[in-house]
Amino acid sequence: MSTYTNEGHAQAADIAAALRSLKPTRQHHNAQLFAALYPVIVEMLDQKVTQKAILRTLGEHGLKLHPARFKELMANARSGSTCEAAVVTDDATSTTTEDAP
């Protein structure tokens, strides 16, 4: 019986190591990057820089977004909540989202 326990622990350790090697999804990474850039994006929009120009610049720097996704991320950043944060983080407070603007 102790052999099974040792094998079980070894298997659990292998699985834990495999889980720790996983990377966040690209969508989550993009959402976090967008959230960090949100204040600058708002600043540029306030200065009448077009959304198209912003999307082009973001794309040139590795953050390629469809206009609909851009609008979704803008709305999420405005409201202070993101779907990705609610799904991925361990923080229980981040799972609460508000529907009010």
pLDDT of 93 higher than 90: no
Tens digit of each residue's pLDDT (9 = 90 or more) over 65-91: 999 999 999 999 998 864 444 333 333
Assess contact for 86 and 94: CB atoms under 8 A: yes
pLDDT at residue 6 tops 50 = yes
Q: For position 65, what pLDDT does the model report?
A: 95
Could you read off the pLDDT of 8-47 as tens digits, one per residue?
889 999 999 999 998 889 899 999 999 999 999 999 999 9
Mean pLDDT, all residues of the chain: 81
- Six-digit token string for 2: 């102790």
- What is the share, in percent, of the chain residues with pLDDT greater than 90? 61
Cβ atoms of residues 45 and 51 within 8 Å? yes
Three-state DSSP string of 12-59: HHHHHHHHHCCCCCHHHHHHHHHHHHHHHHHHHHHCCCCHHHHHHHHH
**Rg (alpha carbons) of the chain, rounded to whole number:** 20
Domain ranges of the chain: 24-95
> Amino acid letter at 69?
R
